[in-house]
Chain A
Amino acid sequence: MLIPFLIGLLPSLVLGPAWILEIYQAEMQWQKTQIGLDNAAILLGRNDRDLMNDVFESEVRLENLHQILHKALSCSLVPATATPCQIVSRKTQLLIQTLILKTKEVAQFKWVRGGANARSNLLRQKILFTLSRSSFWPGKLQTCSFCHLGIHWAEDFGELKSELRSSRYPSSSVKVAALKTSNGDWSYRLWAQ
């Protein structure tokens, strides 16, 4: 009696746990993917936050240079001080242009490095993903109405948002962007959807 009973019960005893194990493994894999994406997004966010803090630190230097330039441009209109002031203004203009160029280059490097760090972090965990992030740092410079040189980095960076999406679970995604806080420092935020 026991053998037919066992034969009848065996499929459910074997297949049931196997099926449950498969469900558990799928859930574990999903959670692992989600945690991996979140961690990579945190890395991206930290990178972008540091990048933006550096950019706006250099903006303070840029503003100081603009003050010097504006004074030099004003005094170059006076015939008595024109020659030395023109020299100062030319040198300051050069400094401003160099600073803008350097800031852009460093920002671009850090922008690319952030993406690469997030990618390598996810690849190390063998998570398949797509990263939607503009290939160039989206910073735009506003020009000064007085000297027509760049002075302020635009603070509304809509394109700063990057998105990490799992290739295996398309509903699993996270967005991240650097944001300016009320005290003027930069921070970052993650969005679940």
Chain B
Amino acid sequence: MKLNDAGSVIWEGLLIIFPLCASLLLVLEVLRREVFQVVLAHTTCTEVRERALGEKKEDIELKTKYFLEKSVGLSHSQNIFAVSKRNSFYLRGGKDTRRLGLGSNSGGVVEQLYRYPQLIPIHLPEGNKHHSEVLQRCLFPF
């Protein structure tokens, strides 16, 4: 390999590192969001089922906390639990459930909104957005 060739390889490598790291970060961000979607789907569906079957609210929260600790780690789960909003309500089937994208059956619904810090901030006219939100709803028909 000539000196010129070696230089061009190094130069090319340096040029690649930045877009490669940015792309990897983007992929990681997407993967992380997907993991949160699944974790949320699991917790909302567990919660709505247990509420519909008349379990104690404290027991349900304890189980949710334990699951979050196991799936996303202790510090992160505490953060998630502190900022998450939890709503539960009963919906009659039809317009209301269809509007929320839950089909046409009536039943109990649990809704959870989690906010988590983003790896890559998004620049918005109002300022940089450092958090991402995932909303999940689960219907337990009865």
A interface list, Cβ under 8 A from B: 1, 4-5, 8-9, 12-13, 16, 19-20, 23-24, 27, 30-31, 34, 38, 174, 189-193
Given A1-B15, A192-B49, A192-B50, answer yes or no on A9-B27 (Cβ-Cβ < 8 Å): yes
Specify which chain B residues have a CB less than 8 angstroms from the CB of A5 in the assembled complex: 16, 19-20, 23
Whole-angstrom distance between the alpha carbons of A31 and B38 in the complex? 12
B interface residue count range (under 10 / 10 to 19 / 20 to 34 / 35 or more): 20 to 34
Known: A9-B23, A12-B28, A27-B42. 12 other contacts (CB 8 A): A1-B16, A5-B19, A8-B24, A9-B27, A12-B24, A13-B27, A19-B31, A23-B35, A23-B38, A30-B42, A191-B53, A192-B55
Q: Is the interface of A mostly helix, strand, loop or mixed?
A: helix
Bound-state Cα–Cα, A120 to B47, Å: 28
Nearest to B20 among chain A residues (CB) is A8
**Mind listing 29 A-B residue pairs with CB under 8 Å?**
A1-B12, A1-B15, A5-B16, A5-B20, A5-B23, A9-B20, A9-B27, A12-B24, A12-B28, A16-B27, A16-B30, A16-B31, A20-B34, A20-B35, A20-B38, A23-B35, A23-B38, A27-B41, A27-B42, A30-B42, A34-B45, A38-B49, A189-B54, A191-B53, A191-B55, A192-B49, A192-B50, A193-B50, A193-B55
Q: How far is the CA of A5 from the CA of B23 in the complex (A)?
A: 10
